[in-house]
Structure 1
């Protein structure tokens, strides 16, 4: 794994996430280099990423003044990336709220200047409205409705980062993509306090109910993809919502509760987020309560019900969620068409979600859905 911070796995993993979402190492280094050899300071972390975002937003405004809308959009997206990378590891409070506000405002500016349309949607669900962005398929036959892939967040990620990660990979293959903030992520968590839930078939049903009403979407060709903890959310959703026709996990999960129990008991140094984050995402007051709630986030009982085509993409050296999680998950799945692809660090990234070399995984996943939808 590329460790930008030699003595801080958590911060290094955040840098990899930013790079996966299109961050530029030179831009990141310009702000974060002073933090590399100092004691970890959360306030300095937030400030550095906010400064990185603000600088890119400033350059975007300069590009706009010159009439360069496309380059401005790219600058805005990198600003969003940097605001959200810092925000994710900033504890709830004014600084976190400010970074998130800046990210949402800047993403809106990016959408306004994009060369391709991006549609914001609001999906009614038992947890309230779930906001998302629909990336339309490039029209191969303008009269025909398109297949679609729903893309779920990982642990405390956001739809804006998901967009930066996937961009037009599905669209260029004639597939629409819906990046969505579901319970325990993005806007529902940050703006309405909606915690995560183990029965992710509930929001999945709501999202599918919405998609089948759209004349531009083919209701018989709906796929579901999850990244990181989305490797629990997506298979769980597909196992009990069979209008999903294909499912992929970009990083597998088998038993998230056992994983967090181990992290907590050992005070693991390869935990990608601060420990306060689990109670926040689970909606509990204490770590003890969070560890109890997260026990339900296991796939042993659900995966036999997953019969659709199923793909797991995992890194051989994943230090956050070890490879045996992926091996147990693929074995338990009820699908006849199921495949585990393990990247070894040479053919693609071997770390968590292949974030040390993500593009081979991204291309493989998009191609796999194109063959099955």
Structure 2
């Protein structure tokens, strides 16, 4: 656990420092964290195909800069990149970007613009009565745009609409799924007091045993992101794909109010049990992927769930806590009362609205009181409890237990967890590969937001090779 120095600091000095550093944390927390303790060593030599590097003018050159704010820009790029898998439309996204910039970029204009676009797509097109496929893919794009609005709603004028906005996106996703052919099998798999909703996609409704990939989302993604980062790619290769909401995600967070757990094997094991009981799953070929912060969750699960045949961390994440800037991490001390006193009396009063909104968003998956306060337009008062939960997600001492072949992805200009993918790769003792996606082909930044097709090519080519020999 990373703690602040035990030496007392004068109020004005700490307050001034925090105000200045966290004042810029809206961008830093969203897109530009520097993980302390990151290795300065060169990247390991890629053991698989990696794109060659080339000079670029910054992380998002030219048309990749949709918004001047890097946090908003990153999310906009995710929406734009999703068009490759029909989960967005280039023209719709760029028109929304222009509308937002013209009105003045803010959480309010971003949320209301993308929500309005989602609402429009849930209505029939003006051209006439839509066919099934039109309705299906309009619903998929609507799910994307509602998710875009959801990400920034806590900083808007209507933070209390968060659950409603989530449900709008979920309804669009369920509409899309219901119109797939075949439609995914849906179920609620037992997990503690709150079942896990799952969507089991198959290339057809035969009972043929097939390789199956369990797709794990990160700390703030939605199900539509799993379509972009795995479902469609799996189906194109004749594989099954399982999408699910775990604690701290989707329905379990926004509706059931269940936060993340550091023991992700307790989440994945029931999923493997459920898959293993199906006649259309080749139980020797069940793979597990983890996107974004799930590059921490999936490896944790794989360290204990030995039925996983292959693992992909996208990117590798040893400690999500190190994804927060050091100026935020130093607030946490071993003493809960002292920590919360610093937070409430020295930090919160100096937080600009944009940084406050970012902190609310980043903390809500780890604290129900923080989420409920944010929906009322208030700042959470207990920093210690969620911060301690985040530190407990550290898997540095667990990675050595992983036995199955593992692929660790890394990215040029990785904003959230720089250095951590190569650190995870170094600690792995299992058969392992490392791939860095680069700016040479527009695949830079966390999770390659502008290149999900390249991303899936790397992941599924690797899985195809590893599982073919299982």
1:105 alignment partner in structure 2: 171
Shift of 1:98: 2.3
1:9 alignment partner in structure 2: 70
Q: Decide which structure has the larger Cα Rg and report it.
A: 2
The farther-off stretch of 205-214 and 103-112 is 103-112
Which of 60, 73, 81 in structure 2 is aligned with 1:20?
81
Which of 81, 84, 92 in structure 1 is aligned with 2:147?
84
1:321-352 deviations in whole A, cap 9, x for unaligned?
A: 21x101000111121x2111001211451211
Shift of 1:298: 1.5
C-alpha RMSD of matched pairs (Å)? 2.5
The farther-off stretch of 47-56 and 111-120 is 111-120
The 5-angstrom pairing of residues 1-373 of structure 1 reads 1=60, 2-6=64-68, 8-22=69-83, 23-36=88-101, 40-59=105-124, 65-66=129-130, 68-91=131-154, 93-126=159-192, 128-138=194-204, 142=206, 144-262=208-326, 264=328, 274-283=358-367, 285=370, 286-322=382-418, 324-335=419-430, 337-347=431-441, 349-373=443-467
> Are residues 149 and 60 of structure 1, via their aligned partners in 2, closer, same or farther at CA, if it must alter by over 3 Å?
farther
Determine if contact 2:366/2:390 at 8 Å carries over to the other structure.
Answer: yes
Structure 1: any 5+ residue segments left out of the alignment? none
> Are residues 263 and 361 of structure 1, via their aligned partners in 2, closer, same or farther at CA, if it must alter by over 3 Å?
farther
Secondary structure of the corresponding residue to residue 80 of structure 1: helix
Shift of 1:26: 1.9
What is the distance in 2 between the residues matched to 1:254 and 1:359? 26
What is the distance in 1 between the residues matched to 2:82 and 2:298? 20
Shift of 1:95: 2.0
The farther-off stretch of 234-243 and 253-262 is 253-262
TM-score between both structures, scaled by the size of structure 2: 0.72
Determine if contact 1:230/1:249 at 8 Å carries over to the other structure.
Answer: yes
What is the distance in 1 between the residues matched to 2:118 and 2:234? 27
> Are residues 86 and 263 of structure 1, via their aligned partners in 2, closer, same or farther at CA, if it must alter by over 3 Å?
farther
2:31 alignment partner in structure 1: none
Shift of 1:38: 6.0
What is the distance in 1 between the residues matched to 2:200 and 2:172? 18
What is the distance in 2 between the residues matched to 1:122 and 1:145? 22
1:193-248 deviations in whole A, cap 9, x for unaligned?
A: 00001111110111111111111112221110010001001111101111111000
What is the distance in 2 between the residues matched to 1:226 and 1:107? 20
What is the distance in 2 between the residues matched to 1:54 and 1:249? 34
TM-score between both structures, scaled by the size of structure 1: 0.90
What is the distance in 2 between the residues matched to 1:62 and 1:13? 33
What is the distance in 2 between the residues matched to 1:62 and 1:103? 24
Equivalenced residues, count:
364
> Are residues 332 and 113 of structure 1, via their aligned partners in 2, closer, same or farther at CA, if it must alter by over 3 Å?
same
Structure 2: any 5+ residue segments left out of the alignment? 1-59, 331-350, 371-381
Secondary structure of the corresponding residue to residue 358 of structure 2: coil
What is the distance in 2 between the residues matched to 1:366 and 1:61? 39
The farther-off stretch of 189-198 and 30-39 is 30-39
Determine if contact 1:278/1:290 at 8 Å carries over to the other structure.
Answer: no
Shift of 1:168: 2.0
What is the distance in 2 between the residues matched to 1:233 and 1:343? 21
Shift of 1:258: 2.3
Shift of 1:364: 1.2
Shift of 1:20: 3.4
| Structure 1 ranges of 4+ moved more than 4 A | 37-40, 59-63
Secondary structure of the corresponding residue to residue 226 of structure 1: strand
Determine if contact 1:310/1:339 at 8 Å carries over to the other structure.
Answer: yes
Shift of 1:356: 2.8
2:29 alignment partner in structure 1: none
Shift of 1:62: 5.7
Shift of 1:14: 0.9
1:246-294 deviations in whole A, cap 9, x for unaligned?
A: 0001222122112225262599xxx9x8211233111264333222221
